[in-house]
Amino acid sequence: MYSSKDLKKIIKKIFLKHGLKKNDALISAELIVYAEIIGASTHGVSRLKMYCDRIKKKLINPKPNIKIKHISQSISHIDADNCIGFVSANLGIKQAISNAKKSGIGMVGVKKSGHYGLSSYYIEQAVKKDYIAICFTNAPPAIAPYGSKKSLFGTNPIAFGVPVKSRIPFIFDSSMSKINRGKIRIAEKLGKSLPYGVALDKYGELTTNPKDALSGVQLPIGDHRGSGLAWMVDILCGVFTGSSHGGKVKDPFEDFSGPQNIGHLFIVFKKNLFDKGFDKQIKLNIQRVKKLPRKDPRKKIRYPGEKKYYNFKNNLKKKIKLPKKVYNELQILINT
Ligand SMILES: NC(=O)c1ccc[n+]([C@@H]2O[C@H](COP(=O)([O-])OP(=O)(O)OC[C@H]3O[C@@H](n4cnc5c(N)ncnc54)[C@H](O)[C@@H]3O)[C@@H](O)[C@H]2O)c1
């Protein structure tokens, strides 16, 4: 069991040992611990070994020469030089916020990046500064395009956030698959089964076995609609930013033939661009939903971002407990 402060220090030290620059090690440790605190352990310490393995194999560049090209006051393009995804995504959102401050809207495309963890971390930064934000990232093949039985699109999350004055921000952040791939990875690591109806094995049969799901396909949300959305993200992040796309993003756990070359897209804009009454109207909008009759009278109607906000608040001071296998992996990383 670790306090979040201690865990962050340990992870930072591990990344420093693997050659990351001081600030990059700090950002990366921060994101991994953030995932543990909000209860998204699928994107936490269980992935640390993978990042370290890829640095050792020179597939993540620990000392990248990241270049930012400013196309206009609003638009920037980042060449991340195959750095760890946390660092380029963090830079991407900061640049998008800075562009939005100047011109009302900021758009930043990032190429040659890697797995960046949880989208909500980046969205929160913009929302805390009172902006509306949308972000996308593509990911390695997991979902079969509608009509095919071979995976090609990633779980390709879409995240969207708006500030809600004196209330918890609205932050929607979701994979385009029925469950995120991290849940399958962690079920495999811990010897657990998957829920029924989220994945098919390589023969096209429904499976609850994580190993079979990883070599088969994950099912998209909403059938052809989810497949279409995952495709949209692949176009925006892969084709549009100049990164890998169409099934060519490399799996970080299994494909060591080169850097991932993932793309991200960040769009940030001022909330009052069209209507000065945004603060009042967004509260009203949420109130109308919250006041609806409940399906289960004991359960409040939640809006996206609420649960994670409470998780963060309640867990920040609590000790983080890692599953035994993940704990053991961490000890090896500490001691080697
Ligand atoms: N970097 C990558 O390649 C990658 C890929 C996939 C997912 N992810 C990340 O994994 C994380 C988890 O993704 P996920 O698909 O498992 O998300 P999820 O299913 O946990 O949540 C999806 C959304 O539903 C909302 N929600 C949950 N319960 C709710 C309720 N009762 N009422 C109203 N809204 C509710 C959440 O606030 C969230 O916005 C995300 O942060 C995502 O960005 C990253």
- DSSP string over 319-333: PBPPPHHHHHHHHHH
pTM above 0.85, yes or no: yes
Beta carbon of 113 within 6 Å of any ligand 1 atom: no
- DSSP string over 193-225: PPPTTSEE-TTS-B---HHHHHHSEEPBTTTHH
- Average pLDDT estimate for 137-158: 96
Q: Tell how far the Cα of 175 is from the centroid of ligand 1, in angstroms.
A: 6
Residue nearest to atom 19 of ligand 1 (CA): 174
Helices marked H in 18-75: 22-37, 48-56
57 falls within a domain: no
197 falls within a domain: yes
Domain count, the chain: 1
Q: What pLDDT score does 217 carry?
A: 96
Give per-residue pLDDT as tens, 79-137.
999 999 999 999 999 999 999 999 999 999 999 999 999 999 999 999 999 999 999 99
Beta carbon of 186 within 6 Å of any ligand 1 atom: no
- Average pLDDT estimate for 287-305: 97
Average pLDDT of the chain? Answer: 97
Query: Which range marks the domain in which residue 206 is found?
Result: 178-219
Q: Name the pLDDT band for 53 (thresholds 50, 70, 90).
A: very high
224 falls within a domain: no
* Tokens 């952040």, located at residue: 173
- Average pLDDT estimate for 15-21: 98
Beta carbon of 118 within 6 Å of any ligand 1 atom: yes
Coil vs helix vs strand at 101: helix
DSSP 236: I
Q: Please list, residue by residue across 98-113, b when 16 or more beta carbons sit within 10 angstroms of its beta carbon and e when fewer do.
A: ebbeeeebbbbbbbbb
Beta carbon of 139 within 6 Å of any ligand 1 atom: yes
198 falls within a domain: yes
Question: In which order are the strands placed within the sheet that holds 170-174?
Answer: 67-70, 75-79, 105-113, 262-270, 131-137, 158-162, 170-174
CATH number at residue 210: 3.30.60.50
Beta carbon of 264 within 6 Å of any ligand 1 atom: no
Beta carbon of 51 within 6 Å of any ligand 1 atom: no
* Tokens 């310490």, located at residue: 45
Beta carbon of 14 within 6 Å of any ligand 1 atom: no
The minimum-distance atom of ligand 1 relative to the CA of 118 is 41
233 falls within a domain: no
- Average pLDDT estimate for 12-29: 98
Taking the C-alpha atoms of residue 94 and residue 223, their distance in angstroms, rounded to an integer, is: 35
Give per-residue pLDDT as tens, 220-258.
999 999 999 999 999 999 999 999 999 999 999 999 999
196 falls within a domain: yes
